């Protein structure tokens, strides 16, 4: 279990770090070319690549060869896939997981304490007919995840002119319509989980900066003739709140963007519709390519040593004496097997026959639950250097026979039997091995057969 958690953690950290680097390189150029509103969508790279890293790894065929096998048999056999090469865990892995857990819980508690402290500083919120609330804040702010509220200082109208008040409220409503509080909440939880990654701290700051620029652009799209007033309101708010943002009890969800960047954006002409469309298309294509690359390069989860299974099957019809042969090779772990579905992913049909063997090792961390069913069937656990091969023979879409054998690692085992009604005779020769050299050689041969890299 620790090895699996470590794999998930390292995979997600790698994916998110690459996403942050890409965002950091592209956010400024995109803001200049396609505008802040479109460039903000670049942040989709992070959750998209994170999700791709958590998906099951892509299947890869090792080797399947059939000879005179009926269509219903060959279609079922074609589902053979390569499973997960294993990463090994150990003492250091357990310690690493423990340290990460302590840090994540600590960060989560700190976030909760800071947020609670900030909410308490707001005091009693008084609703205003204008659709906002008055409270003890130094500058207007949007709070609340489920029930969003715009909170302004009690002397809001005396601090700003009437037009500035409208612009500021429009900015906060833009935050609400874009669900920025939810985005910041997600980012804060991600920071708790990846507290050890320095890139995450920079990413959270960039995210909030880009949110401010995107909301500025959204407001100016409707108030394009009020740029000067908007800049004056920004400057007044900056001077009023500069000391507040340095307090340790400041709102965890909010940030203040460097004033020079916001003023610089006010001086730019809004991008054309064509630029915005091209920008969205570029970001969409980039997100798709990055997600696919993350998924395709993802090494499968750790569950123990990889086991290479060579399965040679002969199916004979005693009445017609037809000989059907299958040679297949796949890579799995202890307690794992190839899927018992047809090659198109659909369940086995009544006319399908299917043969597969699940290998079991004597001691694999986190796999003890897999052994309970075998114990119930009276099957002993293999000793060190041995591999139990638990085979299943499907007939009419259901398991008809389930022979098992314990073999030496790397040595062939032969199982021979006939169906109870005498319709088919089976001869299985199975060789299972954990030898890294043999596994590497088998994967290389499979790549050569597919015309892949040597």
pLDDT of 343 higher than 90: no
* Backbone φ and ψ of 418, nearest 5°: -120, 145
Query: 29 vs 32, 33, 186, 287, 325, CA distance in Å?
Result: 5, 6, 25, 17, 60
Choose the most confident range, by mean pLDDT, from 20-29, 122-131, 246-255, 352-361. 20-29
pLDDT at 59: 45
Q: Is 179 helix (H, G, I), strand (E, B) or coil?
A: coil
Q: Please, where are the H alpha helices in 194-307?
A: 198-222, 227-241, 259-267, 273-297
DSSP 55-75: SPPPPB--EEEEES--HHHHH
Beta bridge partners of 310: 329, 431
pLDDT at 259: 64
Q: What is the pLDDT of residues 284-317, one digit of tens each?
A: 999 999 998 888 776 544 456 788 888 888 888 8
Other beta carbons within 10 angstroms of residue 262's beta carbon come to: 20
pLDDT of 370 higher than 80: no
pLDDT at 284: 94
pLDDT of 445 higher than 90: no
pLDDT at 83: 35
Q: What are the structure tokens assigned to 169, written together?
A: 């409220």
pLDDT at 239: 55
Of residues 316, 350, 308, the one with CA closest to residue 67 = 316
Q: What is the mean pLDDT of residues 356-381?
A: 68
Residue-wise burial string across 325-334, b where 16 or more C-beta atoms lie within 10 A, e elsewhere:
ebbbbbbbbb
What is the rounded end-to-end Cα distance, in angstroms, of the chain?
Answer: 34
Task: Please state, in angstroms and rounded to a whole number, the distance separating the CA atoms of residues 348 and 59.
Answer: 19
pLDDT of 144 higher than 80: yes
Query: 57 vs 296, 339, 374, CA distance in Å?
Result: 7, 14, 28
Q: What is the mean pLDDT of residues 134-149?
A: 86
Q: What is the pLDDT of residues 388-424, one digit of tens each?
A: 998 888 776 677 788 888 999 999 999 888 888 888 8
Least confident of 2-6, 140-144, 166-170, 425-429: 2-6
Query: 320 vs 324, 351, 395, CA distance in Å?
Result: 11, 18, 19
Instruction: Please report which confidence band the pLDDT of residue 277 belongs to, taking 50, 70 and 90 as the band edges.
Output: very high
pLDDT of 275 higher than 80: yes
pLDDT at 341: 57
Query: 6 vs 189, 197, 199, 270, CA distance in Å?
Result: 19, 15, 19, 46
pLDDT at 137: 85
């Amino acid at each position: 279990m620790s090895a699996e958690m470590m794999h998930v953690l390292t995979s997600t950290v790698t994916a998110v770090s690459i996403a942050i680097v890409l965002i950091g390189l592209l956010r400024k150029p995109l803001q200049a070319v396609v505008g802040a509103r479109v460039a903000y969508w670049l942040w989709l790279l992070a959750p998209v690549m994170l999700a791709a890293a958590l998906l099951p790894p892509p299947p890869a065929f090792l080797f399947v060869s059939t000879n005179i096998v009926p269509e219903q048999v060959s279609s079922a056999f074609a589902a053979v896939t390569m499973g997960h090469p294993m990463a090994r865990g150990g003492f250091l892995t357990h310690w690493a997981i423990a340290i990460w857990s302590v840090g994540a819980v600590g960060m989560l508690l700190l976030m909760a304490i800071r947020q609670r402290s900030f909410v308490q500083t707001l005091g009693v919120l008084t609703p205003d007919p204008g659709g906002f609330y008055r409270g003890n804040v130094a500058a207007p702010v949007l709070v609340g995840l489920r029930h969003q509220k715009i909170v302004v200082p009690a002397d809001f109208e005396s601090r700003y002119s009437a037009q500035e008040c409208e612009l500021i409220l429009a900015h906060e409503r833009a935050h609400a319509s874009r669900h920025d509080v939810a985005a910041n909440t997600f980012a804060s939880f991600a920071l708790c989980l990846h507290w050890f990654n320095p890139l995450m701290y920079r990413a959270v700051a960039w995210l909030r900066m880009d949110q401010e620029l995107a909301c500025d652009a959204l407001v100016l799209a409707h108030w394009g003739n009020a740029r000067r007033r908007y800049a004056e309101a920004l400057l007044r708010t900056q001077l009023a709140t500069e000391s507040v943002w340095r307090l340790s009890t400041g709102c965890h969800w909010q940030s203040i963007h460097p004033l020079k960047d916001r003023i610089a954006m006010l001086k730019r002409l809004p991008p054309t519709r064509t630029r915005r469309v091209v920008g969205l298309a570029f970001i969409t294509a980039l997100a798709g390519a990055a997600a696919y690359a993350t998924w395709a390069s993802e090494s499968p989860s750790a569950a123990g040593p990889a086991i290479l299974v060579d399965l040679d099957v002969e199916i004979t019809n005693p009445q017609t004496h037809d000989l059907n042969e299958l040679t297949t090779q796949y890579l799995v772990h202890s307690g794992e097997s190839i899927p018992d579905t047809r090659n198109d992913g659909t369940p086995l049909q009544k006319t399908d026959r299917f043969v597969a063997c699940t290998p079991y090792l004597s001691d694999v961390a986190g796999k003890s639950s897999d052994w309970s069913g075998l114990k119930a069937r009276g099957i002993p656990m293999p000793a060190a250097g041995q591999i139990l091969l638990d085979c299943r023979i499907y007939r009419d879409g259901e398991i008809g026979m389930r022979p098992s054998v314990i073999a030496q690692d790397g040595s062939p085992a032969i199982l021979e039997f006939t169906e109870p009604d005498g319709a088919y005779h089976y001869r299985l020769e199975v060789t299972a091995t954990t030898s890294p050299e043999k596994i590497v050689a088998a994967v290389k041969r499979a790549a050569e057969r597919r015309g892949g890299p040597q």
